[in-house]
Every structure is written in C-alpha cells, then in structure tokens.
Amino acid sequence: MTSLSIVLPCYRVQGYLRQCLDSILSQSFGDFEIIAVDDASPDHTGEILAEYAERDPRVRVVTPPENLGLGRARNLGLEHATGEYVWFLDSDDWMSEGSLAAVSARLRETEADVLIVGWDRVHWDGTVESGTAKRALDRAPGLFSTEAYPQILNVLHVAWNKVIRRDLLTRLGFEFEAGWYEDVSFSYPVLLAAERISTLPRTCVHYRQRRTGAITRTVGDRHFEVFDHWQHALELAEEYASPGPEVRGLLFRRMIWHYLTVLRHDTRVPAGSRRRFFHRIAADYRRFRPAEGFPMPGRFEGLRYRLIERDAYGMFRSLELAKQAVRGLQKRMRLPGLRIPHRARQVLGLAYYQMQRRRSVDESLALYAAYWYRGVNCNPAAIARKAAELAPHIRPVWVIEASRTHLVPPGTEYVVAGTRAYFRALARARYLINNVNWPNRIAKRPGTTHVMTHHGTPLKMMGIDQLDHPAAALDQDFASQMRRADRWDYSISANAHTTIAWSRAYPCDYETLEVGYPRNDRLATTTAAEVAAVREKLGIPAGKRVVLYMPTHREWLPSGTSVLEVERLAEALGPDTVLLVRAHYFNVPAATPGVPAATPGVPAAMPGVPAAMPGRPAATPGEPALTGGLVDVSGHPVVEDLYLAADVLLTDYSSAMFDYAVLDRPIVIFAPDWDTYRDLRGVYFDLMDKPPGAIARAYPELVEIFRSGAYRDDANAKIRRAFRERFCYLDDGHAAERVVRRVFLNDHP
C-alpha cells in the first residue's frame, strides 16, 4: 500500500500548477501518489497535468466528464486513492522542502488518525505571515483528541492542513459537500471523530493569497451557503462525537467568528444583502447557542456578539462604521504629508480629464498607443489596420509624444501626449488599446474596454514573478503594476507559454485572448517581393547577407556597457555582410514629460555605432544605400521591416527571437552572461536547453558559427522547428482579425 495519497483538484490553475507539482515531486520522500483531478478546466491545466503524468508514474490524472466543483472533485480523488493516508492539497499552493519526510516521520511516531501541519500565508506581493492559530499547534500535546485539547478547533478549518487516515474517512463515510465553504462541514466533524490527533508545527504548505479568483474575493449571495455547511457540521459533530460542553462552546464561538469574518469583508456579501445575512447570523446564534454557555469574547468583539444576540443590525452597522472611521483617521494621521502635484500643467490636464469623464463615452472612439507614445507600431498598429477593414465604424486615434509626430504615417489621426485633446480622448474613448500600461492616474470608466496587447513573448520574468529577483524588482512598484493591470478587459497572448506566464505575473480579472501576436501577421504572410522592397528602401545592396543584432536590456550593467563589440564582429563577418544593430527601446530616448525615456544611466541607442545619416534616425525608408558594414537602426520606427530585411537574427535574450522565428530563418543566440542573467533577472525557461538555433557562449564561438555556416545547417533547422512548434503555432496571419472580431464585433469563436 502506498503511504500517502495526495489528492489535487485542479481548475484554472495553469499559472501555479507547475510550482505545486514540482514542490511535491522534488521531495526526498517518495512513497506517495498524486491523484490529480482535472475538473474540466478551460485553460491549459489539463495539458500540464498530462505532461507531468507522462514523465512521472506517481502522477495519476482523473478527468470527470463535467466540472464538479472543489468538494466533489476531492471526493472523486478520494475514490481513486490507495494510500494509507490522504492529503487534500489545493493546486495553487505549494509544499515546502522536506515536508513529506517530516510528515511521514511524525505519522510513524504517533500513528495519528489526523495530523495537522503548519503553514504560512504568501501574499501576491511576496509578503509572508505565519498561519493563524500557530500557538495552538505549538502547544498541542503529542497525541490527543478534541475533547482533551479543544483549542485545536481554533486552527483554520481547511482540508489542506490535515493529513488524514483514509480508513477513517471511508469507514465513517466522510465526504465533501458541494458548494462554497465545503471545508467547514468536513474539517470539524473529522476532528471530532478522530481519536488520535497530532500536530507538526513546521511550515509544510505555502498558502497562496490570490488577488483574484478566490471565493473570498467574490461578491455574491453564494456566501449564504456558509450557514448550511455549519448546520451540517454541527449535526455531524453530534452524530460522530457527542461533544462535551467545552468543545460545544468553542465550536459555537468558532461558528459565530466565521460568520462575522464573512460579513465584515466588503468583497463577499453584497451591500444589499448584508442586513439579511446579519439576521441569519442572529437566528443561528439563538438556535445553536449551547445551553451551558460558551466563552464570550471580551471588549469590542464581545459587544458584537451581544448585538447579534439582540438581532440589532442597525446598531451593529453603526459600530462597524465608527470603527472604520477611527482606522481611517489613524491612517491619515500617520501620513507624513499630502503629495501635491508640482507641475501646474499636469494639474490642469488631470482636472480637465476629470471634467471630460463626466461626459458620455464616445462609443465609436478607439484610442491606440505603443511604447509610451513613441509611434504607430507593434500589436496596436496591426489591430488598428485590421479594425479599419472589419470595423470601419470605429474611429482610430493615436497618442504620440511631441518629439515623434514626424514619424506618424500620413492620414493617421493622433493627439499629442499631455495636451487637452489627449486628456479628452483618454476620458471618453470606448476602447483603449496599448502594448504597455496607461498612466497610473487614468481610471477605467464603466462601459469602456481596455486591451493590453503586450509587446513580446516572455523569456524574462514579468509582473510579480520578478519579486524573487532583486535586479528585476529594483525600484518596481508592484502594487501600482497590479492596479494598472486591474483595468484590463483583454490580455492578448501569443501562445500557451505566454498565457500561463501572464496568469501568474498579472493575477487580475481579465479575459485572455490566446490568438497569436497581431504584429506577426505581416511576418506570417510576407512575400519575396515585399522582402526585396523592404531591403531596397533600407538601402541594402543586392547580394549582401544581413545580420540583425537585437540585444536585450540589463538593469544591472553600468552606463555604456555592452556584452558584444559590434565593430569587431562587423569586421569579422566580412565585407559581404551588413550588420544592423538595434538597441533595446529602453535605450532609445523619449522626450514627452511623464513618459519613460532611456533608462537612467543607460546611453541612448548604441554608442559608437554609426547611423545611416548623421543627425537622423538610422535607416529611415528612402535614405541612400548603406556603404558600411555596420549601421545603427535603433531609430527605425517599424521593427518588422528589419525582421523582413534580415537573413539572420543575432540576439541574446530578447523577445525578438519569438517574433523572428515566425519567418523560419536562422537565429543565433549570443549568451556570454546567461547564468548571471538567469539568476538576477529570472527567466521562465532554460534558453540553453531549448534555444531557437545555434548558441555561442563566447565571442570566438560566435565568429565560428558565422564563419562555418553552422547557423544555417540542418541540426539548427531542426532546433528552430521545435522552437516554432512551441511558440509560433498561432502565427497564421489572422491574429489581428481574431482580436478585432472579439473586441470590436463581439464575435465569440
């Protein structure tokens, strides 16, 4: 018999499931099975489970024909369990190192029916706090029953902190009920029925506090289900244990505490239902209050109980409002001072914005922006072009910074960032499409639609996934990031990898459109004639090999530092090669106040690399042919032109590799500092293990790859094919159309 069955219900956990499974499968103790229930999850959860089950026989996947809900999914997992003990874990939490060995040792030592383990709460911003009732675990006897140690009832009433002898559950017919708060009618009866309970105070489970998606953050009348679960819990308690006065009193107090916890959170019971919820509490108070009494809480909490006893909702509500007012006053008194905007123009602009928000939403207006107002490009531009074709009733307007208006294509309507027209458009647009976030002070209006297109498939960690990587998290305001992401209605994803990454990095309530990247439609449908025309416009002589070098940004490098001597490489590549160099957009300056410019301390564009024409953006269409082997194209407004012109992409860790792979042309990775980048910046997968092409870890290797032609051999073509299958399978030339039909035309696939 297997020692332990870990039952893992899985639903909409694509962003967290790998961490959960890895934390279990990497344990030193190995005598366990995982019964993973794929509860008809509509995301990539099932694919992840299948992947793990294929490579590790300890993972068994059970797939019901329809969604069961958490309680019934646990019951199904229990039916398939074979272990002596069963542990119901949540698939968005994870296990600490060494937990299974510690659990096994404690069970052998005590032969307990129920082992209660320690945990901590991990909040979305990385803060960690000890689990509630830690003192009750620390002070517990070695082996006890609930009657002998009633304080154990103060431990959080969840299934995942209890390892239970399977025979106890099957012998007494324990199972989870359907609905919300199903742990209540399971945990308390199990504790009361168990004759041998033990504890393991060490942290075994990291309990993830999700920003969204949990029932504790869902407003609705389903929270009334808590009453039925407590009623059933008390009925089962009498059936299995006939608890004594002390246990009955503590159980009653725990019930009222739980009711108040649900009521007092604004994210649960709707405002219009709070009075009715309170009356239900009062009814249960009178119905279940032990005849022999119970330990009444003191001070403020005791006053709440007395108001419940009297069913005095009006007084209870006044008390809660007074308490909130005191807390608010204390918080304001702690503030060092109000933050007053120091720029009169900004104040006036925001005031005008607020005035315009009082006007009706312009249902036909779509406001577009890209890269902090730097131009008409990337995914928003591709969407705008397709919308003009399929949704001509939508009027497109772009936001452009003042210094870049000369780059706007003829006939394009735009507003200049920071002007009254800009604030008016922000306030009234029905659709707001951007590949980065709008400013913090912009609030989402009811009835408007925000589309976050993003601007790359992520290799480096993004959003709150950066919390554990100091170089990435430096000077980041993650709370502001999450508030900006809370405005999104749609998040565009290029592939399953991106969808899963965004769900972890930006845990907010939005709909993912996994449709491919609209900007890559052009790459997927290009022709030889278009490529030739682009090369001619860029001034590239016929017969030249074109290598496009696009390095990523490194936050920790000092000003002027480069990992590659491009002049030296250009010379090594020879006279038949043109080396185009495009700096990361963080290194290309922006001029509009309030819009991020080149990262402080990082030089603009590529120092020492000549532009095609001095004083103007490099390689602008219409410029004369290039005469040198090295040219800076950092200022070229449309990166897709450069992709089409290039025969080879040379990059390090830039997301350009994912876009360029759509063309099925050679890619070379120059990774001299991969270990440093991986550890400091954080990455989603090992690029050295699954690259898009040839890898050079040092300059001599890089030169040899080009000299020998290895970058274009069959072996690297095979590697590139696998990379494309993983990341480019949706890039069929119709991504923008899918976005337009869903967002503007409300078509559902």
Q: What is the pLDDT of residues 625-659, one digit of tens each?
A: 344 589 999 888 899 999 999 999 999 999 999 99
Please give the structure tokens belonging to residue 614: 């001095």
Helix/strand/coil percent split, the chain, to 5:
45, 15, 40
Predicted pLDDT at 192: 95
The Cβ of residue 671 has, within 10 Å, a number of other Cβ atoms equal to 21
Residue 168 has pLDDT above 80, yes or no: yes
Residue 495 and residue 501: Cα distance in Å, rounded?
Answer: 10
Q: Name residue 310's amino acid.
A: R
Sheet holding 395-400, edge to edge: 414-416, 395-400, 362-369, 429-434, 449-452, 490-493, 511-514
What's the pLDDT at 628?
53
Query: Which of residues 280, 305, 339 is at a domain's end?
Result: 339
Average pLDDT, the chain: 89
Query: Is the pLDDT assigned to residue 239 strictly greater than 50?
Result: yes
Query: Taking residues 235-251, what's their average pLDDT?
Result: 90
Q: Are residues 576 and 478 in the same domain?
A: no
Q: Is residue 631 part of a domain?
A: yes
Q: Does the pLDDT at position 601 exceed 60?
A: no
In whole angstroms, what is the distance from residue 244 CA to residue 657 CA?
68
Rg of the chain (C-alpha set): 30
What would the two tokens of residue 452 be? 């976050």
**Structure tokens given for 171:** 């012998």
CATH of residue 699: 3.40.50.12580
In this structure, the answer to whether residues 193 and 308 fall within a common structural domain is no
Tell whether 376 and 298 lie within a shared domain. Answer: no
DSSP assignment of 42-65 = SSSHHHHHHHHHHH-TTEEEE--S
**CA dist 524 → 166, 457, 728, 731 (Å):** 55, 16, 10, 6
How far is 84 from 69, CA to CA, in rounded Å?
A: 25
Residues 499 and 566 in one domain: no
Examine the domain organization and report whether 502 and 541 are in the same domain: no
Question: What is the Cα–Cα distance from 336 to 333, expressed in whole angstroms?
Answer: 8
Q: Tell me whether residue 216 is in a domain.
A: no
Q: Are residues 90 and 130 in the same domain?
A: yes
Residue 553 forms part of a structural domain = yes
**pLDDT of 589 strictly over 50:** no
Distance CA 745, CA 749 (A): 12
Q: How far apart are CA 300 and CA 227, in angstroms?
A: 24
**Res 70: pLDDT:** 96
Q: Which has the closest alpha carbon to 538: 625, 614, 606?
A: 625
DSSP state of 700: H
Answer whether residue 624 shows pLDDT above 60: no
Six token digits for residue 419: 């002007």
What CATH number does residue 165 fall under? 3.90.550.10
pLDDT range class, residue 596, cuts 50, 70, 90: very low
Average pLDDT over residues 96-101: 98
- Tell me: pLDDT of 593 over 80: no
The arithmetic mean of pLDDT across residues 254-271, rounded, is 90
Taking residues 713-732, report their average pLDDT.
98
DSSP, collapsed to helix, strand or coil, labels residue 705 as helix
Instruction: State pLDDT tens for residues 449-464.
Output: 999 999 999 999 999 9
Residue 413, pLDDT > 70, answer yes
Asked if residue 65 is part of any domain, the answer here is: yes
* 299 is a domain residue: yes
Report the range of poorest mean pLDDT among 5-14, 133-142, 383-392, 604-613.
Answer: 604-613
144-153, 433-442, 481-490, 555-564: segment of lowest average pLDDT = 555-564
Residue 576 lies in a domain: yes
Instruction: For residue 741, tell me if it sits in a domain.
Output: no
Q: Into how many domains does the chain fold? A: 4
pLDDT of residue 585: 63
pLDDT (0 to 100) of residue 427: 96
What stretches of 176-254 adopt beta strand conformation (E)?
Answer: 197-209
User: Rounded to the nearest 5°, which phi and psi values hold at 418?
Assistant: 90, -10
pLDDT-wise least confident of 1-15, 46-60, 209-223, 639-653: 209-223
Please give the sequence-ordered ranges of beta strands (E in DSSP) within 575-709, or none if there are none: 577-581, 630-632, 648-651, 667-670, 694-696
Beta strands in 531-642, from DSSP E residues, in sequence order: 545-550, 577-581, 630-632
Single out the residue of 113, 89, 110 nearest to residue 99, CA to CA: 89
* Confidence grade of residue 509 (pLDDT, cut at 50, 70, 90): very high
| pLDDT above 60 for 335 | no
Domain of residue 605 covers 526-727
Q: Is 217 a domain residue?
A: no
- pLDDT tens-digit series, residues 136-150: 888 899 999 999 999
Same domain, 267 and 199: no
Residue pair 103/78 in contact (Cβ under 8 Å)? The answer is: no
The Cα 189–Cα 183 span in angstroms is 10
Same structural domain, 124 and 179: yes
In the structure, what pLDDT confidence band is assigned to residue 558 with cuts at 50, 70 and 90? low
Instruction: Look up tokens 């320690």; give the residue.
Output: 118
What SS3 class is residue 269?
coil
Residue ending a domain, choose from 520, 541, 561: 520
Read off the amino acid at residue 646.
Answer: A
Mean pLDDT score, 301-305: 85
Q: CB neighbours (10 Å) of residue 721?
A: 13
Assign 667 to helix, strand or coil. Answer: strand
Rounded to an integer, the average pLDDT of 264-283 is 91
Which range, 283-297, 552-566, 625-639, has the best average confidence (pLDDT)? 283-297
DSSP 8-state secondary structure symbol assigned to residue 460: B
- Does residue 563 register a pLDDT over 90? no
- Contacts (Cβ under 8 Å, ≥6 apart) of 487: 437, 438, 442, 443, 444, 450
602 burial class (0-12, 13-18, 19+ CB within 10 angstroms)?
Answer: buried
Q: How far is Cα 506 from Cα 512, in angstroms, rounded to an integer?
A: 11
Which tokens in the block code for residue 740? 């337009």
Closest CA to 217 of 173, 165, 180: 180
Percent of the chain with pLDDT over 90: 75
Instruction: Say yes or no: 138 and 178 in one domain.
Output: yes
pLDDT tier at 591, thresholds 50, 70, 90: very low
Q: Which of 197, 188, 317 is nearest to 258 (CA)?
A: 188
**Residue 324's pLDDT band (boundaries 50, 70, 90)?**
low
Model confidence band, residue 303 (pLDDT cutoffs 50, 70, 90): confident
Band the pLDDT of 332: cuts 50, 70, 90: very low
Domain at 504, CATH number: 3.40.50.11820
Model confidence at 475, pLDDT cuts 50, 70, 90, reads confident
* 252 shares its domain with 150: no
Inform me whether the pLDDT recorded for 340 exceeds 70.
Answer: no
What's the confidence (pLDDT) of residue 333?
42
Q: Do 402 and 506 have their domain in common? A: yes
Q: What is the mean pLDDT of residues 477-494?
A: 95
Neighbouring-strand partners of residue 651: 550, 669
Per-residue pLDDT at 733 exceeds 90: yes
